[in-house]
Structure 1
Amino acid sequence: MSLLDLTWRNVQRNFRLYTIYLFSMIIGVMIHFTFSALMNNKDILDALKNRGNFQMGVTIASVVIFLFIIFFMLYANSFFIRQRKKEFGLYLLLGMSERQITLLVFYETLIIGAISLMTGILLGGLLSKFFGMLLMNLMQYDNVITFSFPFRAIGTTALLFLFLVFIISIQNFIMVHRVQLVELFHAKEKVEKPMKSSTIYAIFSLILLATAFILISRGRESSIWQEHATFGMIAVTVGIIGGTYLFFRQFSGWLLQIIQHKRKYYEGNRVLWTSSLRFLLRSNTLNLTFISLFSTAIIFLIGFVCINYAVQFEAVGRNLPNDIAYQSVDKKTNEKIHTILKNSEHPVEYHNTLAGLAGIPISDRSIAFDNPEYYMNDVILFPEKAYNEIVFLRGDDEKVELHGKEAISLSQGTDLNKLYDKNEQPSFIVKVGKETTFTIAEKKDYALLGWSTDPERSMQIKPAVLVISDQAFQTLKSNAEMKFFEIYQIKNAKQAEVLSREVHSLVTRTPGAYYSSFADVYSNQIESSSLLLFSAAFLAVIALFALASVIYFKQLQEATEEQRQYSILRKIGVDDREMKMVIRKKLLFVFLPPLVLGILYSWFILKYYILDSVQDFPQLNNMIWGILVIYFFIYLLFYLSSTNIYFKIVNQKQ
């Protein structure tokens, strides 16, 4: 019998194991080809305004995805080989050499790899069209994505998975040559000893976890994070990692010991599942810790990028409230720009001219503007009447009423308005013809003019704007330099990049002239945040798949090792219903605590370090809760699937 004949018989005899391994490799190929096909899809590249950023982002994500796939496939292959150690021992006993066994496994890997490559590329091509349409939808583009199999994507996927087969072959060679014949026969018969737990360590684990939660809940504005950030970071890291490890290593075992000392311990099936858990705690501690921390990372990643994506749409509008705004230059240029806008594919919805006073700040600009380095050096003062008219046109509830020398600074980007009491209003001196002292009644997170922009460099710097009373404006007007600004609202401003470039080239002929366009920033910001969300969601799917595989293979291994014990239980009268109940309770311990800890960690971090910073976006809380609910139901499916597979394995006749 040749090695190829033996390979085919092995596939037939161990069809279940080979199916799992084949399915894992197909998923890996499919995921990689889908992402690679997106990166090389002509329809997507033609639709993007920032093709270079897209290709760079997708390339980085592809590398991360491939590393995930390597980790997952090596883990799956390790399980696959361990399950066959007894079979390899029999081959050695019958006279086969280690070289022949290694060659046999290589043939199997090559055949499975070839089948996986063809199937994965076919399925990946189908998925790439769907995900391409999803990406266009995220970016709010209407472009049609055609069905395609880019040759470059096929080539890179084939090369990368040949490399993967090579790595797997090296792993197989090491595993086959490292184990002795006696160990091969007893590979599945190792039994874990019940682990002793310490009350002190159990309590210490809760202290570590409580410390981490308390420090996180203090928020980044608290003194401990402002003054002792390094200490706080170390304490939280030790609390989460160390606390999680000791929770599963010590607290869980201690809790099981407490249950064993209860009077009703021997009633029902409690003795069956608790005894089994005590024996398996030692081997599951690292897995459970990893699952908890990995779940935290997945939820946090998705939560963060979803918040970023949701905020971007409104944030761009807040930072650039005018579709096109520029400082008036000469009359001839203004008329030319107006004609261009009027005759463009983006009709003018309204046009206003704002008159302001040019001022030079004498006081420290940080009094009126947070992070003054992001603002222009000079200050522009607008009357409340002109400001209120623009606010009314926009439909915003941001009107002001000022008296005397009161002023409101438009300190956009502060996230929250800061209203001062009458006796606490800071003084701010501005030279407008002559030095004038204003009292800052409020720092308002609102933009009248918005960031100055450039079609190539996006956002640059913000104009420093003060809104003053109409009375003060009229008094200062006669001795001050006047500046005029043209504000346009146009239709379909998101797609006005070409128009913006044309207007920008005319305005900037006057050195230092202010120019701002919504379109200059929108495509760049939205494409970037959409790509980030898309890549993160893709990575999260892969991470969930890898996490499910770790859990799945671990339970598969334990179920295979415990077939004899469950066979004994069946012989002494334990029926299927009771056995399913024992399995469900046992696996609930494997799934529930890591899920709860992962959700708690991620929620605390998202809540106190991101959501509290964007309180004017109340819908984000519901979005994060939605992510948590979806993750819970995915995890629930893992649990139900694992209990079903576990029962099928232990129910098999030996």
Structure 2
Amino acid sequence: MSMDKVFNKLRRYNRGNYVQLVFCLGFAVLLITSYAATLFSPTVQNVLPPGGDSRKQIYMIFAIALIGCLMFAIYATGLFFKYKSRETGVFLALGASKRVLAKAFYKELAKIWAACSLCGIIFGNIISFIVWQLFRLLVINTEQMAYQFALTGSLIGLLFALVLGLCILVMAYIFMKRSNLMDILNDQRKNEPIQEVTKFYGLTGLAMTVVGILLGYVVPSITANNFNTQMPAIWSATYLISVVGIYRFVTYLISHHERGRRPQKYYKNIIPFSMMKSQGKQTVRNMCVMALLVLASLFALFYVPMNSTMFWEIDDSPVDYSLPYPASIDQVNQEDIQRLADKHKVEVTNYIEVNFPQLLVSGVERDWTDDGELVEEYHEKFKYGEFISATEYEKITGEQLTVPQGGYYMVVTGPEGFWLKFDDMDQVTNPVTNETFKLSFTGSQMNRQMYSAGAPRYVLNDADFAQVATDLPIEHQVKQVMFNVAESDAEQAFAQDVFSEFVDRAPAEMARVTGYDDYQAEQAQLTNESHDGDMPIELDTDNPDLMSYWKYYPTIKTIIKQNFLRDQAVFFLLFIYVATICLAAVGIIAYTRSITIAINNKQLFDDLTKLGANNQYIRRTINSQLTKIFVYPTVIGAAAMMLFSLLIFWGNDRSFVASERIAFGIDVLITGVVCIYIFIIYRYSYKRMRKLLQV
């Protein structure tokens, strides 16, 4: 009988071990291919802002997904080799040639890898298509969201499969190169005991976990805001302190056990404690990896709630439609709005037009040097600002502001930023007469309705406004049309027509990005320099960049909600993929670790039974092992991510507003769902261990 036929018989006999390997390898390639096919689809690439933070986070998360899939595939392969070690040792003991045995083993692994890779790539693309069609059916179904195949996804899946195949080949080579027959036979029973550590070791590990997060996230913000110094890029390595801290804390949880005041309990559990310590190094490594994967999966799942705060704030705005544009341009007006309203049979209410005079405001230009030091340069004429009187502001918003003469309020939608301080402006200049007026900062006023992303807006005392901002030519004014619409089934179509007409009637001079300023562009032209905001933007209703980058993007609740849901749904879909990969890795690592413990300690459990231990004691011992493997990493990863989430919310506005509290509540629910998933894996692993140990 040839070696191939012998391996075929062994494969049928040990079908469960092969199924586990095939599932893990195929599942890893399938997940990566389907994720890459979705991520690099032209449809998704059009949604992701080029060079934006969202795209960077997506790619960072994709890197985590690659590592997670590679990790659990390699881990499953290592477990398969443990199963094969006894068979290999028996063959060698019976006189089989290691060269012939290795050749057959490599051939078998190559077949498994090739079949898993091919099926993973094919079904990965199919799953990507099915998931996207379900996404369109359940979330948003527009022409712009039609599925587009990307060859890049298949190429990335193939590249991942090749890397995975190389790792398997190296592992198989090392496995077959071992010369000691007893090492091969006893590979399944190999243990790596861990030395007991002190309580101080565990406490320092817990402290390092928290300190690493604080140093990596909080310190750069503090140094930038309070000491005008930018931390170097290498400072991000301080997050690694948390990784070391997690390792130390997990080591303490596994190895440290004291008799304390209840020695009876200690002696009652001395066997479970000793079992865990005898395999401590392997267990600690697995638990640390699981904790980091739980953290990564929650980071992916928390992304959408964290970024949904803007959606709720927009929804709370009292104005449904707000259209800003230069007053000198022939844009949509009340007649146009009414014509479209009549067409769709909707009712327009609370229509108002407001003109904002533009004055040159002073300001501070900030930038970092190559050495990480902050450079601040004050300009008496910095950029154009838009102004409104306190009386007019109250008439429009219903908010009363008492602005003293010589003072001003700045209209904002959030806390003071690092690059723009609310009190940077201390004087204004009339762009026509060149007259200058001194002003001082009185306070800031949160109001999304009156806020403009294209230019800073200020509220002046009525007397000051009459003196400095009246009688300006129309070329130095910005008009804002605001109105509401009564609820109607035709509102979506009406909103789309308003948006389309506004974009179609916008001339080239309105095709400016958010950072564009006329004065700064003029000054840059005089000195033959480039202005950062001096770049045109394509004025097309299908251009996804309009919402994020157009200076005059209209605030139309219905369309913003639709675009926001589209973008966030795409992000959520991508992050769900990553979370699935990370959680799958957690489940596979925890399950295989559980089975390894059962296999390695089967003789011990048999001996305990012969010594009189009943099934209840055996079950409690098994449960003690699994509780540590499943509970500790889950709690550590979830707690670390919760702390990080709170720091992000705090860093946004130094407080926890209502929308952030809602988002954090959703995060807690998501964490609960993840815990339920891990509990299901725990129960399955528990049943499998009992079956293996015949309990």
Residues 184-204 of structure 1 deviation map (CA, whole Å, 9 limit, x = unaligned): 122233345563434553554
CA distance in 2, matches of 1:51, 1:538: 20
Tell me, in whole angstroms, the C-alpha distance in 1 between the residues paired with 2:277 and 2:442: 66
For 2:320 and 2:333, the matched residues in 1 are separated by 23
Alignment RMSD? 4.8
Pick aligned residue for 1:607 from 646, 667, 671: 646
Do the aligned residues in 2 keep the contact of 1:309 with 1:533 (CA within 8 Å)? Answer: no
Give the partner amino acid of 2:668.
W
- 1:220–1:608 CA contact under 8 A, matched in 2: no
How many angstroms apart in 2 are the aligned matches of 1:148 and 1:532?
17
The answer to whether residue 600 in structure 2 is matched with residue 561 in structure 1 is yes
Give the Cα separation in 2 of the matches to 1:152 and 1:484: 46
1:378 aligns with 2:373: no
- The aligned residue for residue 456 of structure 1 is none
Q: For residues 188 and 143 of structure 1, what CA distance do their matches in structure 2 show? A: 56
Report if the CA contact (8 A) 2:65-2:582 is conserved.
no
Aligned-partner Cα distance in 1 for 2:230–2:46: 40
Instruction: Write the mapping of 1:229-378 to structure 2, written as runs, cut at 5 A.
Output: 237=239, 240-250=242-252, 252-254=254-256, 256-258=257-259, 262-265=262-265, 269-311=268-310, 314=313, 323-329=322-328, 333-334=330-331, 339=336, 342=339, 349=348, 352-361=352-361, 377-378=383-384
Kindly report which structure 2 residues correspond to 1:71-220, keeping only aligned pairs within 5 A, or say none.
71-113=71-113, 115-116=115-116, 120=120, 124=124, 127-133=127-133, 135-136=135-136, 140-142=140-142, 157=157, 161=161, 164-165=164-165, 167-193=167-193, 195-198=195-198, 201-202=201-202, 204-205=204-205, 208=208
Report the CA distance shift for 1:485/1:336 in structure 2 as closer, same or farther (over 3 A).
closer
Structure 1: how far apart are the matches of 2:470 and 2:55? 55
2:410–2:445 Cα contact (<8 Å) kept: yes
Paired position in structure 1 for 2:693? 650
Deviation at 1:503, TM superposition (A): 2.3
Moved more, 278-287 or 341-350: 341-350
Q: Check the 8 A contact 2:364/2:378 in 1, yes or no.
A: no
Contact 2:332 2:501 in 1 (8 A): no
Say if 1:127 and 1:401 are closer, same or farther in 2 by CA, change over 3 A.
farther
Question: Corresponding residue for 1:7?
Answer: 7
After the TM superposition, which of the residue ranges 187-196 and 635-644 deviates more from structure 2? 187-196
Task: Find out whether 1:552 has 2:591 as its counterpart.
Answer: yes
User: In structure 1, what is the Cα distance between the partners aligned to 2:408 and 2:587?
Assistant: 59
Please give the per-residue CA displacement for 1:570-627, whole angstroms capped at 9, x wherever unaligned: 2223233331121112221222222222222222221123345253323122122122
SS at match of 1:257: coil
**Pairwise mapping of residues 462-501 of structure 1 onto structure 2 (< 5 A)?**
462-476=454-468, 480-481=472-473, 483-487=477-481, 492=492, 493=495, 498-501=500-503
Judge conservation of contact 1:220–1:226 (CA < 8 Å) in 2.
no
- One-letter amino acid of the structure 1 residue matched with residue 427 of structure 2: I
Which letter maps to 2:243? I
SS in 1 for 2:353: strand
Shift of residue 501, structure 1, vs aligned partner: 3.7
AA partner of residue 485 (structure 1):
K
Matches within 5 A, 1:555-594: 555-594=594-633
What is the CA deviation profile of residues 434-457 of structure 1, one whole-angstrom value per residue up to 9, with x for unaligned ones?
444444332123355655xxxxxx
Counterparts of 1:432-451 in structure 2, within 5 Å, are 432=430, 434-447=435-448, 450-451=451-452
Whether contact under 8 Å (1:34, 1:128) holds in the other structure is yes
User: Which residue of the partner structure matches residue 408 of structure 1?
Assistant: 409
Q: Secondary structure at the match of 1:382?
A: strand
> Cα deviation per residue 1:511-555 (whole Å; 9 max; x = unaligned)?
959733348988887665544433222112101111222222222
Please give the secondary structure, in 2, of the residue aligned with 1:354: strand
**Compared with structure 1, are the counterparts of its residues 198 and 185 closer, same or farther at alpha carbon in structure 2 (3 Å cutoff)?**
same
Q: 1:30 to 1:349 in 2, by over 3 A?
A: farther
Q: Specify whether residues 518 and 317 from structure 1 end up closer, same or farther in structure 2 by C-alpha distance, changes over 3 A only.
A: farther
Contact 1:358 1:481 in 2 (8 A): no
| 2:47 and 2:567 in contact (8 A); partners too | no
For 1:65 and 1:98, how far apart are their aligned partners in 2? 37
CA distance in 2, matches of 1:222, 1:152: 41
Q: 1:181/1:278 Cα in 2 relative to 1: closer, same or farther (>3 Å)?
A: closer
Q: Is the 1:217–1:604 contact (alpha carbons within 8 Å) kept by the matching residues of 2? A: no
Following superposition, the deviation at residue 264 of structure 1 comes to 1.1
| Equivalent in the alignment of 2:393 | 387
- Is 2:553 aligned against 1:516? yes
The residue type equivalent to 1:27 in the other structure is: F
Contact 1:326 1:485 (8 Å CA) reproduced: yes
Map of 2:429 onto structure 1: 431
Q: Deviations over 1:450-488 (max 9, x none)?
A: 55xxxxxxxxx6212212244543455655445251425
Q: Which runs of 5 or more structure 1 residues have no equivalent in the other structure?
A: 393-397, 417-423, 452-460
* Equivalent position of 1:542 in the other structure: 581
Q: Deviations over 1:155-206 (max 9, x none)?
A: 7756753664454234312321234323112223334556343455355445
Report the Cα distance in structure 2 between the residues aligned to 1:239 and 1:296, rounded to whole angstroms: 15
TM-score, structure 1 as length reference: 0.78
Task: State the distance in 1 between where 2:282 and 2:347 align.
Answer: 69
Change (3 A) 1:567 1:597: same
Deviation, 1:88, is 0.7
User: What TM-score does the superposition give when structure 2 sets the normalisation length?
Assistant: 0.74
Q: Does 1:622 align with 2:665?
A: yes
Q: Structure 2: which 5+ residue stretches go unaligned?
A: 367-375, 486-490, 520-550
> In 1, Cα distance between the equivalents of 2:67 and 2:206?
34
In 1, are the aligned partners of 2:296 and 2:582 still within 8 Å (CA)?
A: no
Helix, strand or coil at the partner of 1:258:
coil
Q: Distance in 1 between matches of 2:320 and 2:426?
A: 26
Determine if contact 1:323/1:518 at 8 Å carries over to the other structure: yes
Equivalent residues, number:
620
Task: Give the C-alpha shift of residue 566 in structure 1.
Answer: 0.7
1:119 shift after superposition = 5.5
Q: Distance in 2 between matches of 1:324 and 1:236?
A: 46
Q: Deviations over 1:349-372 (max 9, x none)?
A: 465322233323357699xxx999
Indicate conservation of the 8 Å contact 1:195/1:282, yes or no: no
- The residue type equivalent to 1:258 in the other structure is R
CA distance in 2, matches of 1:550, 1:79: 10
Residue aligning to 1:631: 674
Secondary structure, counterpart of 1:625 in structure 2: helix
